[in-house]
Copies of this chain bind each other. A is one copy, B any other.
Amino acid sequence: MPTVTFLPRNIQATVASGAALLDAGLAAGLTIVAPCGGEGVCGECRVRIAAGTVEEEPSGALSPAELAAGWVLACHSRVTGDVTVHVPEPSEEGARIVTDTAPDARPSATEPAGPHEPLVARKCIVVEPPSLENSFSDLDRLCRALRRTAGFSPTQLTCGLGVLRSLAAALRAAEGRVFVTVAQPNEDTPAEILRVEPVEQAVSLPSPSQAGQPAPPSATNGHPGQVHGQGARATLGLAVDIGTTTCAVQLVNLDSGHVVDTACEYNGQVSRGLDVISRINYAKIPARREELRSLVLRTLNGLIEQLCRAQGLEGARIACATVVGNTTMIHLLLGLDPEYIRLEPYTPTANRWPVLRAREVGLSPALDPEGCVVFAPGVGSYVGGDITAGLLRTALASDSSEVRLFLDIGTNGEIVLGNRDWLMACACSAGPAFEGSGIRCGMRAAKGAIERVRLDHATGQAAFAVVGGAKPRGICGSGMIDLLAELWATKRLEPSGRFNPARCGALLRPAGPATRDLAYVAAPGALTESGQDLVITESDIQNLLRTKAAVYSACAVLLAHAGLTTKDLTQVYVAGGFGRFLDLRKSILIGMLPDLPLDCFTYLGNSALAGAREMLLQRDARRKVHELANRVTYLELNVVPSYMAEYTAAMFLPHTDLGRFPTARLFSGG
């Protein structure tokens, strides 16, 4: 069978003759981005043949010059013999994140102070001995003791056969002092006793890894019938955010509430389409649904195993998981047909998800196979559980009459507006540009990403900050916003998104041999890891404009639909995969965010992941996320006549109507 070698990382895969190059990349563990789902339309999966040949199917996505230069589409090339291909940087997988993308990864003072009632709790309690007077069964006495325990309020309690089998001995081994592990998914599901261990035995267990966290306090905490053991192994939970472009997984110590570690990676499905619609189209055939399911599972399980390895965890140590994601992503994770999400009247199979077992979902063996997996409920086909979970991080979920706005800018943009009395949401197709996808030198906010940019007003040369302090490898979302704002503020970019060649000077060049596209050099090859210039092209800028216009116009339409204006907003939350920080002033300058005082804004980073963590830790959050899902009213933008006009008007820097951007007007001299 032929061997395919992928440069520059020199990774090899042996595949059957006739296999698509795209699949060979997948086999090699590389994620080659294919936005159109392998239709041969977008040209994004282009790779360059370095040695050998492939059999090409015709497609119109590459120019004759590109074809002559050895470029082929990975989706339209079949392997016929040994071949070596060069995969351009932006498509390359393997960029491990250095630190999380936003403040949410750190336990912070702003962490909502809900009562600590984790999804799986390990409690140390004392169960009264039986007597002729108190002749309740072992299970009844255990349940009574649990019900007296602080921070535990289930209406219903159940247990499996394993617990029943161990119960009599466990209650009698240490005079009724036991650790009880209980799962409490939500109000609709009975709490389940997962394990009962006598205290001495649990204490004497080796605790090779306490998952990097301090052991629970050893003193009693004053609750009657409740004591704390020492040295017990931490109970671990997993928060999972499945984005269309990026997946994030966070390991959490459920006893202490601390984050142990976080990992992110591109969703393996990006090789089968960049946005939800192309994924849905790809998934029409059942075998492809199964393929998409295993692709995202491969990504998630890879991340989970990476986290476990780093902590030295062995066996099924993770007790449970909360999962958030847009409605399509959850359908694909569960192997459901997403077709009806795309077709009017846009009907998902479900918005609320039953509590499933880790083995059913197919999550890593690092999770207890019987461990519960709780999903955040969605609002509808285009406002999913990632948004309701994200809302948990905002005051929109609070008892306040002030009107607030929540923007989650991922590959889909979702916007929620409202207060305690009403909540309204809409969704727009933002595209993955800010996550580094579909942009020539774009990348995730991983090591080597340019995350901040300032241009010298006179020379136009960029000073930049790079994630991890390394040589730059690409530009992440926050860097692109900076670059766009700086180019425009220094008049190197027209409001239309075209370069002003006179102002740009020598830093502006043709984007390639066979294109009229222009590229501005953000980092010259001398400074970069690959030795190649890092540039932003006019077509990149059009991509970014489309994203920011989609987001801004959705906000505007939603506000207008509610009969409000920007001035009625007391707070705006911005979430998304831009990077570790977001320059809000520059986000206003490019016309992505409404022009409000900076202190109105809060940048949340990955609020979906943070919401998933809250669901892991707080029973109240698990209740509230359902309440939020029920309360939000969805507005379908496609049926709002003004949306297209708003969108078109927003395709300029900052906007056609400068009156809406008084701050920006100062820069534009308007």
Binding site for B on A (CB under 8 A): 130-132, 135-140, 156, 158-161, 164-165, 167-169, 172, 188-190, 334-337, 339-340, 344-352, 354-356, 360-361, 380, 634, 636, 639
Contacts and interface: CB of A to CB of B under 8 A. Distances in A.
Contacts of A380: 135, 137
Please report whether the interface of chain A is mostly helix, strand, loop or mixed according to DSSP: loop
Nearest to A159: B354
A358 to B, nearest CB: 12
Contacts of A188: 156, 158, 190
Nearest to A339: B168
A355 B192 CA distance: 12
Contacts of A164: 334, 336, 349-350, 354
B347 A138 contact: yes
B168 A337 contact: yes
A395 B169 CA distance: 39
Given A161-B335, A167-B350, A172-B340, 18 more contacts: A130-B347, A132-B344, A132-B345, A132-B346, A132-B639, A135-B634, A137-B349, A138-B349, A156-B189, A158-B355, A159-B354, A161-B334, A161-B354, A164-B354, A167-B336, A168-B339, A168-B340, A168-B349
A301 to B, nearest CB: 17
A351 B167 CA distance: 13
B160 A347 contact: no
Contact of A334 (B135, B165, B348, B354): B165
Nearest to A167: B349
Contacts of A636: 132
B345 A130 contact: yes
B135 A350 contact: no
Task: Name the residue in A138, A334, A339, A355 with the highest tally of chain B Cβ atoms < 10 Å from its Cβ.
Answer: A138
Q: How many copies does the complex hold?
A: 2
B337 A169 contact: yes
Contacts of A337: 165, 168-169
Nearest to A634: B135
Contacts of A131: 345
A164 B132 CA distance: 49
A349 B139 contact: yes
A131 B636 CA distance: 13
A531 to B, nearest CB: 50
A59 B397 CA distance: 78
A347 B137 contact: yes
Contact of A354 (B138, B160, B348, B356): B160
A370 B352 CA distance: 22
